[in-house]
Amino acid sequence: MASRMSKKTRLTVVIVIIAVVAVVAIVLSRSLSSPSDSMPQSQNATDFTLPTMTGVNITLSELEGTLIVLNFWSISCDWCRYQLPFLEAVAKQSEGEIKVIAINMADNAANVQRFFGDYEPTMIVTLDGKGEVFVNYCRDYKNSGRIPFTLFLDSEGMVQYVKIGAFASEAALWDALHDVF
């Protein structure tokens, strides 16, 4: 005859199963509601003027009429450095149809220049040394301050896409661009 579980053992098993199901439900709900990739209601990107790595100031609104990729990054961020080549490839291959603005929000000009060395990027590298532009965009797009932080702007300066975290590959970045534009 098969052994039977006691009422106490069955109750313990049921409680463990309920606890596991609850934990899985919480984890799934957080991952599904994560702001890592989103297509927000279109809103105008907050205008800014920042110095570039070459010393020239750039104002976002002056680029209206062009598709724009804004990317906030820092040298100390491994994932930021990982995806910089993908952003540079978009800047080169789009031949000016898409402007990529890589906004360094933490490092000084000398360190950014040293990071790139003799390489002259096609993307526009700007310096937000005090992080003010970064803080404004984090507030506007519900980012708790994580980088890399990327936004796609249409030719009218409207934010069409927000991503918190790195693109897995250059192909993933192109896929997202094609989905949006």
- 3-class secondary-structure state, position 152: strand
Per-residue model confidence (pLDDT) at position 32: 34
The verdict on pTM exceeding 0.85 is no
| Chain centre to alpha carbon of residue 174 | 14
- The DSSP call for residue 61 is G
pLDDT for residue 96 is more than 50? yes
pLDDT tens digits, one per residue of 38-77:
555 568 999 999 999 989 999 999 999 999 999 999 999 9
Going from N- to C-terminal start, the domains of the chain cover 1-33, 37-180
DSSP string, 65-94: TSEEEEEEE-TT-HHHHHHHHHHHHHHHHT
Q: How far is CA 8 from each of CA 2, 14, 19, 22, 169, rounded to the nearest angstrom? A: 18, 10, 17, 21, 52
- How far apart CA 149 and CA 166 sit, in angstroms, is 8
What pLDDT score does 21 carry? 62
Which tokens is 38 given? 């989103």
Q: What is the mean pLDDT of residues 128-141?
A: 95
Looking at 3.40.50.970, 3.30.470.20, 3.90.1520.10, 3.40.30.10, the CATH number of the domain 37-180 comes to: 3.40.30.10
Report yes or no: 92 and 59 within 8 Å, Cβ to Cβ: no
Helix (H) or strand (E) holding 17: helix 7-32
- Give the pLDDT band of residue 2 (cuts 50, 70, 90): very low
